[in-house]
Amino acid sequence: MAATWLKDAVFYEIYPQSFYDTNGDGIGDFNGIIDKLDYIKDLGCNALWINPCFDSPFKDAGYDVRDYKKVAPRYGCNNDLYRLFGEAHKKGIKVLLDLVPGHTSEEHEWFKMSQKAEKNEYTNRFIWTDFCFQKAADLNYVGGESERSATYALNFFKCQPALNYGFLKPEEPWQLPMDHPDVIATREALKDVMRFWLSHGCDGFRVDMASSLVKHDDEKKSGTSAIWLDVRKMLDAEFPEAAMVSEWSNPPLALRAGYDMDFYLNIPGGGYSTLMRDYAIFGMEEHEDNSYFKKDGDGDINRFLDEYLKWYEDTKGVGYISMLTCNHDTNRPRYTLEPDELKLAYAFLFTMPGVPYLYYGDEIGMRYLELPTKEGGYFRTGSRTPMQWTKGKNLGFSEGCEDSLYLPVDSAADAPTVEAQENDPDSLLNMVRGILALRHKEEDLQADAEFKVLCSEKGKAFVYKRGSLTIAVNPSNKEQTAPVAVEGEVIYSIGKATLGSQITLAPQTFVVVR
């Protein structure tokens, strides 16, 4: 791991078009992020992840990049982003940008050049078959849209042609090996983009679909891993404090591929999904919600631990597992959990090992809104609504007309706002500030401190250690005990705990004991 500053980092994820609008056009901008840096710092977050902000036709909310070295005019200009880096650094805040390495927009100049019939330096920058009616093997593909007699492979949506990082085991003449000069040129172009932003003050990258580069890769993703290890070699030599977090959700692979952090994502049936989102999504069969932090559910922390502990033990000292309250692809936790339940869930997430991420607005319990799709968001659109600052016009997000807003704000009379929660000592906002302050103060709550489970039996309080601190949680609406002797000073609590030869927690209690 290269970036030493991650040990005490807490990230705040910002969806830039929805954070704060300073010019009244209904879309958030870089100046809006700059204006709110003090708020972010006071929250306890000392690092930012900004969702894609590069020039784009926005068919996939910016994950379809048209120019990697130019910011989207809706947010400002390149100089505004450079200023954001500088202002953030003055306040001790690091900034990661969202890097999309696996594909571009179909409007990117590289792709336009690769579509031409005559050969040029970009002919093989993307994955093309060698005939207009030939299918791209087991990849999704598009034909009939280019003067070139070939079909091209997609990496995700139709608007996102796959960049060519080669095939681990080529089987057709058009499948280039990883050591082909044109494939190496793609990798070097990726490094060039990274160098550009790092040299202007960016502190690293969140990497979109990080495991998707090399095609026909093996189970261990050895081809894609080789590319990231090559990138890491460049970073270690030229930008040793730069950090990378992968959208991979396989820490044993991702962290050994040169990443500092890997996201633990909300994959249905995965351990993380059992904490706050154990309900049917993506057309899954309906089933009862037994999320662990749902007070009236029948949750079991072992459904999380069975997966997490294997990964934790396997990757100790290699890199960090990053858990998040939510992200732009995931239903907000408020969808099914009330603020009192969220307090316990957040207290747990922010006292676990690794580097945590807080999604903008989760600190006030913003709701997931059922909305029509916007910019390829589909069901995810409801988690991308504007930040709710005040009870004023457009909940303080923008002075623009309501119909100009990127997305509508929560119209409920009790829509949560920063303003309403600021002076309420019992608010979710102030609870988040308190637990993050504790994390920064206590080294035993930070990324590297030891983690050990003391009691995880279903129906009993969940008790774990971080270094010398003992932590216990009971998210249910019934009293719970655990057969663990806990004595000492309570340094943080939500609810009421009785210490002694065993620990007893009142309903919905979280406690940290020294």
**pLDDT tens-digit readout, 424-462:** 999 999 999 999 999 999 999 999 999 999 999 999 999
The pTM (predicted TM-score) of the whole model is 0.97
Find out whether 484 and 455 touch, Cβ atoms under 8 Å.
Answer: yes
* Neighbour tally for 455: CB within 10 Å: 18
**CA torsion through residues 112, 117, 120, 123, sign:** positive
Give me the domains of the chain, ranges plus CATH numbers.
Answer: 4-101+183-444 (3.20.20.80), 103-164 (3.90.400.10), 450-513 (2.60.40.1180)
Structure tokens at 477: 């609406």
d(CA 514, CA 506): 19
Span 364-422, pLDDT tens digits: 999 999 999 999 999 999 999 999 999 999 999 999 999 999 999 999 999 999 999 99
Residue 235, pLDDT score:
97
d(CA 162, CA 128): 9
Span 249-303, pLDDT tens digits: 999 999 999 999 999 999 988 999 999 999 877 666 677 899 999 999 999 999 9
Find out whether 368 and 383 touch, Cβ atoms under 8 Å.
Answer: yes
d(CA 190, CA 260): 18
* Backbone Cα Rg of the chain: 23
d(CA 58, CA 73): 12
Contacts of 82 (CB under 8 A, 6+ apart): 200, 201
d(CA 430, CA 436): 10
Structure tokens at 431: 């609870």
Span 200-212, pLDDT tens digits: 999 999 999 999 9
Find out whether 101 and 214 touch, Cβ atoms under 8 Å.
Answer: no
> Residue 80: what residue type?
D
d(CA 198, CA 97): 10
Find out whether 514 and 468 touch, Cβ atoms under 8 Å.
Answer: yes
